Amino acid sequence: MNRLWIMVALFISFVVSETPFAMAQLGGLAGPRKLEPGGAMQVILLGTGIPIPNPDRSTAATLVIAGDKAMLVDTGRGCVVRLAEARIRNVTAVLFTHYHSDHIASFGDLLVRRGAAGAEDPLPVIGPPGAKRVVDGFQMAYGLDHSYRAAHHGKYWGTRGSQAKVTEAEPGVVFDQDGLQVTMFKVNHAPINPAVGYRFDYQGKVVVVSGDTIKTEKMIEMSKDADVLVHEAMDLQTLHRIIPMIKRGRPRQAALLEDVSEYHASTIDVAEIARDAGVKKLVLTHLVPSIPPQDAAEKNFVRGMSDIYDGPIIVGRDGMTIDVE
């Protein structure tokens, strides 16, 4: 009898101790955040890294929240994990800036998440020409997975919701709903073409997400008086120091880094854009090189920027939320 009670007690303690664990395993599903119509604007950095793997940084994905809309700019590697961490179960639309792998890698996973969340309508996807090819490719690669899950889970699987509805767009207004207007504009990521950035206008507030680009006049024009500019950034001084150092022993890596340095904006360029556009808050993302999320490294990354731009400069970290005030 004693032994039975001990077993019962052990079982109860197991269930109790496992419950929080089980809830934690559900991650974002445990308590999705409710987005309210008319609510304020926020930016959540879901990925601040680059293709070189860095466990602290997923690749390009920036969420712009405006009221009950959650607009996901790019779907880089790991964005579904960061979305779950941010307790965002569904996004309103995906906006692609261009089709480098670090901006699209987790698109397939995103559709799987929608299926599991029971989304009813296909995910709207907007991007410059090329979006259809990219999305079709993902849907083909994930086709078997979708068929397994739809057959296995039946009506509980969001079959329609795990599809995408693609619009290939040219620069201009690409989304206009409930007071949120999204404008696509051309950037310069040559030789990659097309490449675009996005401007979000909502309740008199403005957020701009650069995509990948060197410094352009268009960015200054589109960011005029923006409340938040999320811009890619490269510490060119450090790259210029690293490249000659590794040239001899690792010529291939040196050549790749040299190519990379040609189609991104330096921290100094970004500071000039923010100054010239009169941006209220500058947020750096897509950090080249992919520094650790530590104060000392970040301080070094932005050196010289405050001499040019006197507003707040935030070095992005994955998961960071920026209020648009």
Kindly list the catalytic residues. 102
Site membership for Zn ion, residue 146 (CB under 5 A): no
Contact 7, 63 (CB under 8 A): no
- Which one of 102, 201, 227, 235 is in contact with Zn ion (CB under 5 A)? 102
Site membership for Zn ion, residue 100 (CB under 5 A): yes
Site membership for Zn ion, residue 264 (CB under 5 A): no
Cβ contacts of 237-243, under 8 Å, gap ≥ 24:
237/303, 237/304, 238/289, 238/300, 238/301, 239/288, 239/289, 242/289
Closer Cβ to Zn ion, 42 or 97, answer by number: 97
Using alpha carbons, select from 226, 235, 232 the residue that is nearest to residue 274: 226
Closer Cβ to Zn ion, 100 or 281, answer by number: 100
Phi, psi dihedrals of residue 311, rounded to the nearest 5°: -85, 180
Give, as ranges, the residues between 52 and 71 that touch Zn ion (CB under 5 A): none
Contact 169, 177 (CB under 8 A): no
Closer Cβ to Zn ion, 100 or 114, answer by number: 100
Count of residues in contact with Zn ion, rule CB under 5 A: 3
Q: CB of residue 98 vs Zn ion: minimum separation in angstroms? A: 6
Stretch touching Zn ion by CB under 5 A, among 19-27, 87-95, 99-107, 291-299? 99-107
Q: CB of residue 263 vs Zn ion: minimum separation in angstroms? A: 7
**Measured distance CA(233)–CA(268) in Å, rounded:** 9
- Which one of 74, 109, 201, 212 is in contact with Zn ion (CB under 5 A)? 212
Q: Is 6 exposed, middle or buried (0-12, 13-18, 19+ CB in 10 A)?
A: exposed
Binding site for Zn ion (CB under 5 A): 100, 102, 212
